[in-house]
């Protein structure tokens, strides 16, 4: 099985061809093609590791749309002070489909 570890924004993720993943928000429109740098490339027993990235190897992906993640609640509280603040947050992501590796 061929897979790659790619770096996007502040994180790394494992991807295979045809997989749909959410990455940190990009300034790209739906239908655009993006290239992600590859940190590790594995094809069966053959594994290539980049230091820090593999030169000449990229993952091509198509932007599908922009989505929001799950809502998280942030609660600030100070005891004995009558201070309570509840705040919500939904992170925005870019959903992409992996077209090719290599």
pLDDT tier at 9, thresholds 50, 70, 90: confident
pLDDT of residue 1: 83
Contact (CB, 8 A) for 75 and 84: yes
Q: What is the mean pLDDT of residues 35-59?
A: 93
Q: What is the mean pLDDT of residues 65-79?
A: 97
Contact (CB, 8 A) for 35 and 98: no
**pLDDT for 102 beyond 90:** no
CA 35 to chain centre: 12
**pLDDT for 91 beyond 90:** yes
Query: pTM value?
Result: 0.83
The domains of the chain are located at 2-101
For 47, left (φ over 0), alpha (ψ -120 to 50), or beta?
beta
Please give the full DSSP string across 2-36, using - where no structure is assigned: EEEEEEETTEEEEE-TT-EEEEE--S--TT-EEEE
């Amino acid at each position: 099985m061929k897979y790659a570890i790619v770096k996007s924004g502040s994180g790394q993720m494992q991807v295979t061809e045809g997989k749909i993943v959410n990455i940190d928000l990009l300034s790209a429109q739906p239908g655009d093609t993006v290239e992600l740098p590859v940190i590790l490339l594995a094809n069966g027993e053959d594994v290539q590791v980049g230091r820090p990235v593999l030169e000449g190897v990229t993952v091509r992906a198509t932007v599908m749309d922009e989505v929001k993640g799950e809502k998280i609640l942030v609660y600030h509280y100070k005891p004995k002070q009558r201070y309570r603040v509840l705040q919500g947050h939904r992170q925005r992501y870019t959903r992409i489909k992996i077209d090719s590796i290599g």
